[in-house]
Chain A
């Protein structure tokens, strides 16, 4: 079996110290093989956002090791972290986080630009990614000219465009209505079917049910970890 995309061992994260310290994660161990569609569920305060930030190399764990596609992320310095985020991870945020007053195409091109890819190649790949999420005809629109669902699909295209090892989605449907949620989840299903590794964080049961594996997090610890038949 090839090496896992995510290999997390005994991860802890503590904010503050002394008697007021908050233990957001209390020893999370997790292995995600390539091509898996994993949902992490938990109520607010369960530590799922902290886990997501560490998995996304946006934050560093207090103790424990974290290997992303074989790279020990917890040992990287700022510059290398930036590189890891660019090459290995594609983010989808709850709040879309598109750059305002910038076209969908330019938004999708951005990670490729930071990867140092030439403008022509960039454009083609960005258009392909937009096509994949069904927004090729909206390439020239700015975020405020797009609906929430469309914005999130642009964000998905932006996450995909670098062909990352891991697609990381933090409550991607949290700000969307039922129909847009359906659109985004369909895109994820399709990506999963194409063999992408997806880690999705959510608190909505119907979103978690779509994934092939479901982890429940309570008080910074994994309480259940089940493989399931995805519902459609």
Chain B
């Protein structure tokens, strides 16, 4: 009896129980698709976090004041650009920010971060201007009231209007829009396109006053010099602020690559968690397969008896049932992979899933192994029965 013949028998066996076959495959499909998709969502969110942090610039450190009072001041900021004490610093951008309301032609729009800084900030923070131009050092020195707005602000305030050279009111003063920032990939909770950037002098004058700076963005000469920059900045600040060894420093230095590391770790944990949930669903799916296979074989013990009475050797019977089980789990698994591939083309809870190839192999492998084992085991038992016992089986 040829293999093709046995495969035909198996197919006939499956099509004789269409609904049950379909339900079994559905169980496997859901299990496999869940594993692949959930791992893909975890992976996708990890990658999104990583790219967001990379967009901040990985060759910068951010100095934040933590103590009370005016820790970070403009003189301290300028002290950081010291070619002798801090040779690896490429640029220093003092930053103030406040929330503000922009008004144009009777329309209001609230921005969370109205940033005041120096022109060097645009390159250091990896925030290129898409349309128009950034303000210049001269604008900054003169305190000209010009502003570069983010994409979201442009869309909100100037629907269908070219925002360049329009005037918006911020904190009772008129600012002229001179540029629009290029759209930034923004995933997560904050819209990074909902911002506005103006010269430091103008923002201090109009919005924040002449108090402390919110932060200082320090750019390293190269990504490899970031930790060197960090220690150089720390020693200058310690000296300036009179911090002695053992004291808690009234500032904090954030390093984008450190941030990246911790965020990636968090994302990995997240992925592992999702993977565990998915593995449970695969397990449940596997128990479903086991159940169906057991029921199928038990129910068909009589059929096995008939086949044996008609002269089917044990091996042929076993092969038929094994092929049935394999087809169910392979087709179900393949459909599951297909469903996951289709599902991954859509955003899921704001995350674009990125398929992890090993999860595909794992999910498919586990489902096929479960199908084979729990389909094969009862089939082997039934095939070993003496035909007379199988025939009498009720």
Contact = CB atoms under 8 A, between A and B. Distances in A.
Contacts, number: 69
Interface in A31-83: 53, 56, 58-59, 78-79, 82-83
B181 to A, nearest CB: 67
Interface stretch (A21-29, A110-118, A183-191): A110-118
Interface in B286-320: 302-303, 305-314, 316
A203 interface: no
Contacts of B388: 53, 58-59
Contacts of A110: 307, 310
Grouping DSSP codes into helix (H, G, I), strand (E, B) and loop, the B interface class, with mixed when no group exceeds half, is helix
Contact of A106 (B1, B12, B308): B12
B302 A97 contact: yes
A44 to B, nearest CB: 15
A141 interface: no
B16 interface: yes
Contacts of B391: 58, 93, 97
A7 to B, nearest CB: 21
Nearest to B2: A116
B1 A58 contact: no
A82 B386 CA distance: 11
B313 A99 contact: no
Contact of B311 (A53, A86, A97, A100): A86
Nearest to A85: B311
* Residue among A84, A86, A98 with max Cβ neighbours from chain B (10 Å): A86
A114 B17 contact: no
Interface string B352-394: 0000000000000000000000000000000000111001000
Interface of A: 53, 56, 58-59, 78-79, 82-87, 91, 93, 97-102, 106, 110-111, 113-116, 158, 162
21 contacts: A56-B309, A58-B386, A58-B388, A58-B391, A59-B388, A78-B314, A79-B314, A82-B314, A85-B309, A86-B311, A93-B309, A93-B391, A97-B305, A98-B306, A100-B303, A101-B16, A102-B12, A114-B1, A114-B311, A116-B1, A116-B2
Interface of B: 1-2, 5, 9, 12, 16-17, 302-303, 305-314, 316, 386-388, 391
